[in-house]
Chains A and B, each alone.
Chain A
């Protein structure tokens, strides 16, 4: 399952993805469409992956700062 532009999810068979693709990878997709064929290239975007990972860690850290700790009574 692949997340598409942060708006939804799309089922893709594993064999269509780069062999080294992992669960947290950002993938860059380009399409070269001609009259009789379309070439779809799916590449691991390591820079975007690193940025997404950093943003994820930052979001978790920000929420943690607001956690009073200890046990909680609702």
Chain B
């Protein structure tokens, strides 16, 4: 009898087995407000994980992934070639097998970026270069399918000029629109107004989403009234360090629209739970409202 019960317990699915979890990890220790978003689908009884960006805090990300029982990444997605999304990827590759690498194929000369691409090649990780149109990536378990529509950046990004600014690189982000059943979420990387305009022109049907991860850590160039009109989110998640971002203007805009807003710097790791039977809910490590950044930006003359 004891043995029978023990065997039966082995087949009991884990508590969140029918739930898709989207965790915007708290990386507010990052110097420049990186993103790291863990998507976990446990519908088949065995959790499968996708990581979008790894901030520039590799050790922190690895610790958090282990905390959430990650042993393998079905995919590692890089939104754009800035250090704050890819700086932590080297340590992630050290710690976990990665089954697929997905990025936009934007060339960039930074040595650390080159080293990452060369390492992905050396590890023979299957790669999806989402540089045109929309690529669909499906995470399939026994009883569930999560679809990621990967929106390519504008074609100019493939030949981005050496004179590109940080804003230009932001506008070469890939967008990821997740759908599971009727639920949708949009992760636009650090896309700014120009890239959103491109997507509005080319992929308008793929921008509407229940949950929006605010672009560019809650900067005003990534979260405008126009973007909110198109995406029509019911909740907004902001991954920012609280020092350079989010901007007061953006928080005021979201408040004026009555949109529930969560910020990693104030709320810690933010989790969206998406049950199989519909409905979804956002929870966070800590309660409290979002605060605007607390530092003046650097870069002006002394």
Contact = CB atoms under 8 A, between A and B. Distances in A.
Contact of A72 (B56, B109, B114, B136): B136
Contacts of B127: 63-64, 66-67
B140 A15 contact: no
A14 B299 CA distance: 4
> Which of B50, B56, B87, B109 has most A Cβ within 10 Å?
B109
A69 B48 CA distance: 23
B194 interface: no
Interface in B93-130: 99-101, 105-115, 117-118, 120-121, 124, 126-129
A18 interface: no
Contacts, number: 123
A63 B105 contact: yes
Interface string B192-218: 000000000000000000000000000
Contact of B162 (A49, A63, A70): A49
B82 to A, nearest CB: 9
A34 to B, nearest CB: 23
Contacts of A36: none
Contact of B117 (A24, A25, A60, A67): A60
Size category of the binding interface on chain B = 35 or more
Interface string B67-107: 00000001100000001000100000000000111000111
Interface stretch (B165-173, B176-184, B251-259): B165-173
11 contacts: A1-B31, A1-B83, A9-B31, A9-B56, A13-B302, A14-B300, A24-B164, A67-B128, A70-B135, A73-B140, A74-B138
Interface of A: 1, 3, 5-7, 9, 11, 13-15, 22-26, 49-50, 52-53, 55-57, 59-60, 62-64, 66-68, 70-74
Interface of B: 31-32, 48, 50, 56, 74-75, 83, 87, 99-101, 105-115, 117-118, 120-121, 124, 126-129, 131, 135-140, 162-166, 168-169, 298-302
Given A26-B109, A49-B109, 7 more contacts: A52-B111, A52-B114, A53-B107, A56-B109, A64-B105, A68-B126, A74-B74
